[in-house]
Amino acid sequence: ATESRQGVLVRGRGWKGMVFNTPPNPNPSVILISGSLCGLGPHVSPPLFSPLPEEPQTDIGLPHERLSRAKELKERKRILRENRQNAEMERAARLRTVLIPLEDVRAEWERTSGPFHKQRVAKHCGVFRDLFGGATFTPWVALRVQYSQEDEHLVPVYYGNMVTPSEASSAPAVSYEADKGSLWTLLLTNPDGHLRDADSEYLHWLVTNIPGSDIKAGKEMCHYLPPFPAMGTGYHRFIFLLFKQHGPINFSQDARPTPCYSLKMRTFSTFDFYRKHKDAMTPAGLAFFQCQWDSSVTSTFHQLLNMREPVFEFVRPPTYHPPQVKFPRHQPLRYLDRYRDTQEPTYGIY
Amino acid sequence: MCFFNLWWIFVCSPPQGLRFASTTAGLKTETEVDTSENEVVAPNFTNRNPRNLEQMALARKERGWKTTWPKREFWHRLRLERTQHYVEAFVERSNGDVVVSASTREWAIKRHLYSPKGVAACKNLGRVMAQRCLEAGINFVNFKAIIPWEHRCDSIQEFEKAMEEGGVVLHEPRRIYR
């Protein structure tokens, strides 16, 4: 008798006739290979999934001009050569005391590989799939969003960090680099929180025709509504989108009355909104945060939305059992319990 | 994509006396129309956020792979790759998708270092990686994919210390089964 699998003792007869209760393979094209077979060595795992041929994703972002690569490389090589000739740097590296300035690294990262990293994280959080139906863009414009608290504390919004609804109760300070005379649109949407329809979003804030980076000078089509993720529903994404307009656009169709506390009026679809104006604007900036229920959400429901607060409970999907077989091999009597509709156990009753 | 259906129960009593007191009949009907429809809520709620279940510790971890190493029982794994010339760190999911990465190959980090490999590079890479993980909302990461005798070396110890000091917890919470 070797090992026991699901309470059944397997005799040392090999793997013939074993019933493996594995969950259904979501991707039948996966080929499982061990590391040594790949020639990678015993301690290196092979690629965990055989990569599916990815369909080319439509890019709806701004075009990015690359500066001359040769000049950039020459400059970088010069700096690296200087570093290697610097005796202080060599001593600090040898004695392991060197600490690189994180702010400078972050600023340089935002200019170089930041947009690609943000796009990657947003893709994994399903932002492009839910808002744009699969089309992606690289957020070249660095969008800095900060919620200010009463004690002068600032809560920043990066790409996926946690912010509570009480911290996000008032409109944040948004800043980004913009040329003079350019027009922008800022949008805050929640694709997860819709209480009636799973495929639509709630619009929390829409400011259009913003000249440069001055949000106050833009026309506020929909005033700011604090986040209200219902209790028990878990974490919701709240996504800030910055669009660069090619010229002044008439958004009168998307104007909401002030004040607008009707959830029906706040129901929104970024896909339709972008499709309507896609010739006149392109997405340029992205920032999002995850938000969970908080006691301030109760007051938002009661005072602002004037409704009873809905409370939800998580329902687990039923456990998977493979299709029932008439003559199951090496299964205990409780095999029948798994397929019976009523709850009648055949053990523990004596 | 992970979906989960939720049942709802009304728990709170309706707010009393919080309707807007208005004199004109027209205004009153507007606010009533506005907010009376708010109460209509679907009984089943679906949350499309792919990170929701794993942040609530309810998502499945891949529990098989018990006869191979490293195991795939994690939501996010931190993998440190030290090559001859560079040091790279990746945070990836069990299906192999890289979520956050940092490497001394990037110009932003390379320019401040004397050498892109070595203990000092690992330490600073740890600090940068911790900052990026927290910004991406990844607070718990599995750091078991290192060989024991390599884990004891100085550079990986410094990297681990830098990640801990940066605020990332290097073990994932247990999944909630009940």
Confidence of residue A140 (pLDDT cuts 50, 70, 90): very high
Whether residue A128 contacts residue A122, with contact meaning beta carbons closer than 8 Å, is answered with yes
What's the pLDDT score for residue A89? 94
Largest Cα–Cα separation, chain B? 79
B15 vs A47, A80, A306: nearest CB: A306
What's the pLDDT score for residue B6? 44
CA angle B47, B49, B53 (to 5 degrees): 85
Whether residue A115 contacts residue A62, with contact meaning beta carbons closer than 8 Å, is answered with no
What's the pLDDT score for residue B66? 92
Which chain A residues have a beta carbon less than 8 Å from that of B118?
93
Burial degree of B108 (CB within 10 A; 0-12, 13-18, 19+): buried
Interchain contact, A161 vs B136, CB within 8 Å: yes
Highest mean pLDDT among A23-27, A58-62, A144-148, A254-258: A144-148
Predicted confidence (pLDDT) per residue in A253-293, tens digit: 888 888 888 888 899 899 999 999 989 999 999 999 999 99
Residue B98 backbone phi and psi in degrees, to 5:
-80, 130
DSSP B15: P
Between A and B, how many CB-CB pairs are < 8 A?
A: 225
What's the pLDDT score for residue B56? 94
Burial degree of A101 (CB within 10 A; 0-12, 13-18, 19+): exposed
Interchain contact, B49 vs A264, CB within 8 Å: no
How far apart are alpha carbons A160 and A178 in whole angstroms? 24
Which chain B residues have a beta carbon less than 8 Å from that of A162?
137
Instruction: Give the global pTM.
Output: 0.82
Mean pLDDT, chain A, whole residue set: 83
CA distance A90 to chain B (A): 6
How far apart are alpha carbons A326 and A332 in whole angstroms? 14
Neighbour count for residue B52 (Cβ, 10 Å): 24
Interchain contact, B18 vs A306, CB within 8 Å: yes
DSSP B172: P
Predicted confidence (pLDDT) per residue in B19-40, tens digit: 333 333 334 444 545 677 888 8
Ranges of chain B with pLDDT below 70: 1-34
What's the pLDDT score for residue A52? 61
Cα A131 to its chain centre, rounded Å, is 11
Residue of A187, A195, A198 whose CA lies nearest to A288: A187
Domains of chain B: residue spans and CATH: 75-166 (3.30.420.80)
What's the pLDDT score for residue A51? 54
CA distance A208 to chain B (A): 24
How far apart are alpha carbons B142 and B170 in whole angstroms? 6
Domains of chain A: residue spans and CATH: 115-304 (3.90.280.10)
